[in-house]
Structure 1
Amino acid sequence: MTFLNWTKVAIVYEDDYGLVRLRELVRSRKSQDMEVYLRQTDLDSYRQVLTEIKAKEIRNLIVDTKTGNMHHFLRMILELQMNDYNYHYLFTTFDIETFDLEDFKYNFVNITAFRLVDVDDVSVRGILRDMEKYQSNGNNLLNKSRVIQAEPALMYDSVQVFAVGLRTLEQSHALRPMNISCELEHPWDGGLSLINYINSVEMKGISGPVEFKEGRRIQFKLDLLKLKQHSLVKVGEWKPGVGINVTDTTAFFETGSTNVTLIVITILEQPYVMLRSRGNFSGNERYEGFCIDLLKEIAHMVGFAYRIELVPDGKYGVYDYETGEWNGIVRQLMDKKADLAVGSMTINYARESVIDFTKPFMNLGISILFKVPTSHPARLFSFMNPLAIEIWLYVLAAYILVSVTMFVVARFSPYEWSNPHPCHSGSEIVENQFSLANSFWFTIGTLMQQGSDLNPKATSTRIVSGIWWFFTLIIISSYTANLAAFLTVERMITPIENAEDLASQTDISYGTLESGSTMTFFRDSMIETYKKMWRFMENKKPSVFVPTYEEGIQKVLQGNYAFLMESTMLDYIVQRDCNLTQIGGLLDTKGYGIATPMGSPWRDKISLAILELQEKGEIQILYDKWWKSPSDMCMRNEKGKGSKANALGVDNIGGIFVVLLCGLAFAVLIAIFEFCYNSKRNAPVERVSFCMHSMN
């Protein structure tokens, strides 16, 4: 047992009788190095004594208190916060099961005790039920746990033994009661015979087998109890002449000792567990990764050695409804072929029902891995993109319509006609500045926000001009604003944005890791979207499920495939491959834990170690080490961090230069055409040839 290896112990007792019972234990340890702190206490000095023990940093206590005072002692332990896994208490009381230990269970405090009455025995339970039937109303013989205390149990067995001995005596010869005097000492003639018959009684009582030898009880046993997270459990027995027999040897081990070697099963998966790529290693040194480093820390804190083995079928474990069997790591733990399982092992309801998990060391969820969507190729006439093609056509039509309207309205309005020679007031020649060509020129100048030397005079033409100016204000402002967005923000072609988009289409295939918790999540989900996705994945041919994460990643890189995977693994991949990205948020929330067989004594110890590592930040340090290694990070082009907008290149606005060159070339051609037309028209008037006129 654990206390046999104690080197520093406090013995707390209330009366000299308790000291006598503990003296044998102290004497047996004299030959070994053990520091004993012996204190006698009572109800009023519990706090003082426990405070002194705490100050001396004594973690192991043997406690012998009166049963009636035990709840006060336990309360004082709680008040002084001496109820964590660092402390180990050995109580001499046989009534430990009758006390409320709720605050001790979940703090993982070590409590060891003995019990005399085995309430799990069928005959004992029958006797207790009969005793409850005949007890007085308002009196409770048993406590809330349906456990009887040792003293009334021994009293019951004593009365039973006395009754059996007296009945046997009566059967051998008639009993003749005699007068009893309080002043004279006259022994009863049948007393010696009664004692002999009592010594010969052999029966089974509440406290176990009752048998005597030379006036001392023999053949009884004490159950050794150990407090675990759920309840007090039997871990061994003690019998006179035989001694202690611990049936659950793993229930007692000394923290810090490495004399226990555990089989740790795992599965290869980056960056949790990986084979070393360089060097010739053997044993546990062959492996590296986040979980390997975490396992080293936990083993050092809890105190055990370990041997790492890979799961034969390479699966985490999922329940097969057809065969009714589990596979993978879960199967190995159920068959007790391994003591621990480390890796990206997700805690879920189905697994928790057949194996145990520690506290989660990492929180995560399901997310979607997808190939980075392609961007729009830069086009020469990208500056045309802010307005749709039909808008450009409508603007052209509006330009022509307004120009013609301006020409017609100016012709009809008398206020647009004026004398071209104001000095000759009597001249009957008038002209209109808004010729067809000038109307088009005035309209285009306004559209380009450059204006012209033509100013409308009539009210009608001014109304047409005002409406056109307002129109151009809206069109030019909208174009300018949208041009900035189109040319400075990268436009991505993203066919899916979340799980709903994925479920509502069939062009892009999607799947999960085979026999993993993600597959189980979709299979058992009651959410309609996820049920629809599961039906698609289950019926898709060829299968969209992959045996390893590596195959899933390769299918994503090939295109037209989305891989549903756990977010921590997705983060690791995305940070190392710029061609991959995460789509949407998390579909659920869960955690990774270290798995153990059901009822394993190591679970609670490892949970405490995980909590301590989390509080110290050690797990975050390990995460940064394996997820954010600068040498493996993908150097993405983080737009928007260096400047507010991207510089525009030739690929974006080069088309405007083409338009300028084409316009200049067109103007030169028109000028040549005008020159040739004028020469051809004036050559006959001047009576010269076309070539001579052109040369002149």
Structure 2
Amino acid sequence: MGCTHAGRRECLALWPKARIHARHLERFWSTSDQPTSDPPGFVYDNKGDMARDPRPQKAPYLQPEKLSSSLSRTLATVYSVSSARSFAYTVALTNTSARKLTSELILKDETEKRGKVKILLSHVRSLISFRGASGDVSFNDAGDRVNYTINIYSGKDKFAQNLAGFFTQDIKSWQEANGETWPGKPGKRTYIQPFRQSDARVIKVLAVPEPPFFMQKGWEQVRYRKENIKYDNADRNDEPYEGYAWELIKDVKKVFEEEMGIDFNFEITLMSRGQYGSLDLSTGEWDGMIRELIDGDADVAIGSLTKVGAREDAIDFTGTWYKSQLKVAILHPSWTFEYPFSLVFPLHVTAWAALVALFVIISSMVFFLGYFSPYEYRRLAERGEATEEEAGTFSIGESIFYCLSTGFWQSFHRSPKSWSLRLLSMFWFWFCICTIFLYAWNVNSVFKFSKTAIKIKDVHDLLFNDIHEFGAVRNSPSYDFYRFNKGQYRMVFDRILNSDRNLLEDRIEEAIYRVRRQWDGRYAVLGEERILSYAADRKPCRLFISGKTLGKISFSFATPSGSPLRDQLSYALKVLKKRGNITRILDMKFSNSLKCARDTLWETETKKSFTVHDLQGMYYLIFCGMGGSVIVMILEWLLYVLAIDKGARPTFVGRRGDQGGHRAPPQNKMTTDFYGQDPKDAAPDKGATDWI
């Protein structure tokens, strides 16, 4: 410690004299044989500097009786801020020659050196007897400074001008000298006075409501309209606030007062939601809690305040008391309502239109080839090589049903006879196989698109997810993290801002409400893990927290730049962390009566399973088929009844040669087994090979 306080000017005025006297100390050294003004064992070289004398010399000794009165006063002033033992070496080291001499003396016999130093110390102690800036300047028999006081200053960089407290070597001597009672804790020689910047009475603490870190008591009743909220600790019912930060600041107060001996009476001042502090890039000015700390209107800021580089340039942060992760909240897959006919999404609307048009064209070609080909059933029936029933195989209705059945890999009651129709059927079947496989390949991803958010593990997966729309809460911890970061994290922030839709919400409750209302599950909100979990545990329980880690953030207390509270709070937080208090606080649960029930094993293991909502389009189609078949059956029955009234019975299976809806008798002897006869017996004039 150098020249300080009231003795600073006197000390600075006498210090050059001390250096001058130190240069002349060499006059007081002599040998036992021949006194000399030069130190023994040294000579002056051609440059005027002292050099070691190669000749053997005897050990020197100091003649303290030759010390001048002015030198004694100088020594007394210097010794007012240091110990007597260190002074003997300090004075010798102020001059280059003396430094070399001291180095040589250290190599001498230790016993002889201590004896000579003791002579000097006793002489110096007899010369010093006054009260300096650090208290009574006095020494004990060992030469150690006693009954002194050291002032402790606080500040930042070179501006350490705030008196933070002081340390006294003896409390009793301090009380006698000052006529006051020791203000510190009994038995502790260090006193740190409470720091007050904004208010002389209390420490002003700023907090932003952000459940579960900090919130007013009764917030759950107002938000969820619940009564008789139960808490883990009944003693907390009389407190005005609750949350992690509130419990932590109470424990910090205990450490300050019980262990550090510092008064820590604080007063909470609530800020508006989201008023953590944002930087206006156009003006370079901060707002919110950061502005309050910069202007000196507050002493400490607590809550879910993130520690980012841009803020550290404006204010000071304590040590980190909690490190968390960023995740994403989505609608639970079991509660996601897809578009009912999402099963058509694997193919584009143009692909579906082309598929329908191609189906009509192929059906028309089947009818065309079946009607004009000389080797198909119609021409064969005209030549008597096929029955009249077989002649209607590829009519308009039968051609459509033939293309439909082959497309779904179903058999048809008759195969084509001509090679032209067989060739067309082969390529149509190949086309259907390719289309079905491509459709089946993509329909799985369409059905499971609500499950894709579960697979998000890091920022890379988040950026390459083009199904969901990721939003955030404006001026929230996650918002500040992505905004003031670089690389992929900044890309997430740019994606949110550049979206065509407004993906930002002003409060976490509004963001969660938006997630729950998006029945298709496409909107998701990014946030801190505990904030999202607290919201997801609120009823109705339809949210799911996904993502392994989308970023890591740190929570700390903030103080004005240069405030002594920074180091004091950092020490208190470190003590609480070692004791396990912070872990205990983070394990606290608030308002357990509103917590959702734990997921069952079935709900836990079936997050990726298809639900009835995922397959509802298929159910709608089968219901349409069932309803359509009933309607057609009713129409058939009505037509049949009307035909009976007119004396005719219509048939919906047309055959060539039918008259009035009745089956026409066979025109030749050739018949089929449908009439109870063997074709070979009905046509004995035909050879057996004609039926192959």
* Structure 1 residue runs without a partner (length 5+): 1-114, 132-151, 163-187, 422-426, 686-696
The verdict on how the C-alpha distance between 1:123 and 1:349 changes in structure 2, with shifts beyond 3 A counting, is farther
What TM-score, normalized to structure 1?
Answer: 0.51
Contact 1:157 1:205 in 2 (8 A): no
Tell me the equivalent position of 2:385.
430
How far the C-alpha of 1:475 sits from its partner, in A, is 3.1
Tell me the equivalent position of 2:130.
218
The verdict on how the C-alpha distance between 1:158 and 1:536 changes in structure 2, with shifts beyond 3 A counting, is farther
Query: CA offsets, 1:227-282, max 9 Å, x none?
Result: 99999999648799878889x98899969999989736142442223333379999
Letter aligned with residue 218 of structure 1: F
What are the residue-to-residue correspondences of 1:483-632 with 2, within 5 Å?
486=446, 490=450, 512-513=474-475, 522=483, 568-576=530-538, 589-598=552-561, 603-604=566-567, 606-608=569-571, 610-611=573-574, 614=577, 618-626=581-589, 629=592, 631-632=594-595
Tell me the equivalent position of 1:265.
205
Q: Does 1:653 align with 2:565?
A: no
Tell me the equivalent position of 1:311.
269
Tell me the equivalent position of 1:276.
217
Tell me the equivalent position of 1:292.
246
Looking at structure 2, the residues matched to 396 and 157 of structure 1 have their Cα atoms a distance apart, in angstroms, of: 110
Q: Does 1:641 align with 2:606?
A: yes
Letter aligned with residue 623 of structure 1: L
Query: CA offsets, 1:80-122, max 9 Å, x none?
Result: xxxxxxxxxxxxxxxxxxxxxxxxxxxxxxxxxxx47669968
Contact 1:513 1:549 in 2 (8 A): no
Letter aligned with residue 649 of structure 2: F
How far the C-alpha of 1:632 sits from its partner, in A, is 2.3
How far the C-alpha of 1:639 sits from its partner, in A, is 8.2
Q: Give the alignment partner of residue 156 of structure 1, picking from 13, 22, 41.
A: 22
How far the C-alpha of 1:342 sits from its partner, in A, is 2.9
DSSP 3-state at the match of 2:239: helix
Contact 2:168 2:190 in 1 (8 A): no
* Structure 2 residue runs without a partner (length 5+): 29-62, 83-122, 135-147, 195-200, 219-227, 652-657, 666-692
Higher relative contact order (CA 8 A, sep 6+): 2
DSSP 3-state at the match of 1:625: coil
Contact 1:255 1:303 in 2 (8 A): no
How far the C-alpha of 1:593 sits from its partner, in A, is 0.9
Tell me the equivalent position of 1:86.
none
What TM-score, normalized to structure 2?
Answer: 0.51
Contact 2:326 2:478 in 1 (8 A): no
Tell me the equivalent position of 1:470.
430
The verdict on how the C-alpha distance between 1:117 and 1:283 changes in structure 2, with shifts beyond 3 A counting, is farther
Query: CA offsets, 1:199-241, max 9 Å, x none?
Result: 9968996556999998444344466377999999996487998
Looking at structure 2, the residues matched to 161 and 534 of structure 1 have their Cα atoms a distance apart, in angstroms, of: 81
What are the residue-to-residue correspondences of 1:407-486 with 2, within 5 Å?
407-409=367-369, 416=376, 429-431=384-386, 433=390, 435-437=393-395, 438-480=398-440, 486=446
Query: CA offsets, 1:502-544, max 9 Å, x none?
Result: xx9xx99987249x9956984898998699799999xx99xx9
The verdict on how the C-alpha distance between 1:226 and 1:387 changes in structure 2, with shifts beyond 3 A counting, is same
The verdict on how the C-alpha distance between 1:286 and 1:639 changes in structure 2, with shifts beyond 3 A counting, is closer
Letter aligned with residue 675 of structure 1: R
Q: Give the alignment partner of residue 649 of structure 2, picking from 675, 687, 693.
A: 675
Looking at structure 2, the residues matched to 227 and 681 of structure 1 have their Cα atoms a distance apart, in angstroms, of: 115
How far the C-alpha of 1:360 sits from its partner, in A, is 1.0
Q: How many residues are aligned here?
A: 503
Letter aligned with residue 466 of structure 1: M
Query: CA offsets, 1:28-64, max 9 Å, x none?
Result: xxxxxxxxxxxxxxxxxxxxxxxxxxxxxxxxxxxxx
DSSP 3-state at the match of 1:462: helix
Looking at structure 1, the residues matched to 73 and 442 of structure 2 have their Cα atoms a distance apart, in angstroms, of: 105
Letter aligned with residue 659 of structure 1: G
The verdict on how the C-alpha distance between 1:647 and 1:238 changes in structure 2, with shifts beyond 3 A counting, is closer
How far the C-alpha of 1:290 sits from its partner, in A, is 1.1
User: What is the RMSD computed on CA atoms of the aligned residues?
Assistant: 6.8
Query: CA offsets, 1:603-629, max 9 Å, x none?
Result: 445435544655676534433424795
Contact 1:256 1:303 in 2 (8 A): no
Tell me the equivalent position of 2:685.
none
How far the C-alpha of 1:395 sits from its partner, in A, is 3.7
The verdict on how the C-alpha distance between 1:346 and 1:528 changes in structure 2, with shifts beyond 3 A counting, is closer
Looking at structure 1, the residues matched to 664 and 366 of structure 2 have their Cα atoms a distance apart, in angstroms, of: 37
Looking at structure 2, the residues matched to 403 and 534 of structure 1 have their Cα atoms a distance apart, in angstroms, of: 50
